[in-house]
Amino acid sequence: MPTQAGYGVAVVIAVVVFFIIVLAAAIRILREYERAVVFRLGRLIPVKGPGLILLIPAVDRMERISTRIETIDVQRQEMMTRDNVPVTVDAVIYYRVIAPSDAVVKVRNFNKATYLLAQTTLRSVIGQSELDELLAARDRINQRLQEIIDEQTEPWGIKVTLVEVRDVILPDTMKRAMARQAEVERERRAKVINAEGEFQASQRLADAAQIIATQPIALQLRYLQTVVEVASENNSTTLFPIPIDLLTPFMKGLQAGSPQP
């Protein structure tokens, strides 16, 4: 039969085991980026952490909240722009919890609530924007999304730091129409540049003609330059006319020296 000393040892062991179990249930260790939202008999007490915290077993209930930046991937959804163009858009949301107690008390599931809010806000902002703005001014749309979502989630203790529209998918017909529009625009620019070049060239020719009209010697210099350019070609024979002005002095001398009948 067990002795009284044996009963005493068993009681001590039971007490030690119970104490260890209670201590294990009471001690929590939180990392630097974690906070503990504790309810004591259903009432909220100040947020605890990081580090070592003590809870009262069967009295305190703790919810662990991360204060790191989290991401939400808003899945692709088809929507209509203000100019009635169907597009498929997805986005990514960056946010963090700045008030852990509000994130637990004021909303049931802040992750899901933020995701649904971002989804509906994305559809609303895209519906108020035209296609050209969505493609060319995406930074402004991202800023508008961030401001709207951050304003709505502020009572939940959520800070939205960044919103990025990740991809915009257009229908094939719209892609072909935009490609054709870009091609026509390039042709228009080429014609404008060509016309501008011809206009500048005509102005230069008019200036040259005006100079030649006032300075006849310029025409002679241009003629000699042309002769040099033609002579530099790999031609076996080069024929060029001689201006009559060069022969006029010789013809006058011959007429002066010829005998009179």
* Residues 184-213 pLDDT 10s: 777 888 888 888 888 888 887 777 777 767
pLDDT at 239: 61
205-254: per-residue pLDDT in tens? 777 777 767 766 666 666 666 666 666 665 556 665 666 665 565 566 55
pLDDT at 104 over 80: yes
* Torsions phi, psi for 68 (to 5 deg): -75, 165
Quote the CA–CA distance of 62 and 108 in Å, as a whole number: 15
pLDDT at 155 over 60: yes
Mean pLDDT to the nearest integer, 4-28 = 76
Which of 36-50, 102-116, 184-198, 208-222 has the least mean pLDDT?
208-222
User: 3-state class of 162 per DSSP?
Assistant: strand
Strands (E), the chain: 27-30, 34-40, 43-44, 51-54, 60-66, 70-80, 86-97, 158-169
User: 3-state class of 60 per DSSP?
Assistant: strand
Q: Where are the domains of the chain?
A: 4-65, 70-170, 179-256
Mean pLDDT to the nearest integer, 154-168 = 92
Contact call for residues 118 and 90 (beta carbons, < 8 A): no
Angle in degrees, CA 108, 113, 114, rounded to 5 = 135
pLDDT at 228: 66
pLDDT at 19 over 80: no
Specify the CATH number for 70-170; select among 3.40.50.150, 3.20.20.70, 3.30.479.30, 1.10.10.10: 3.30.479.30
Is residue 219 classed exposed, middle or buried when 0-12, 13-18 and 19+ CB atoms within 10 A define those classes?
A: middle
pLDDT at 233: 63
User: 3-state class of 119 per DSSP?
Assistant: helix
Overall pTM surpassing 0.85 (yes/no):
no
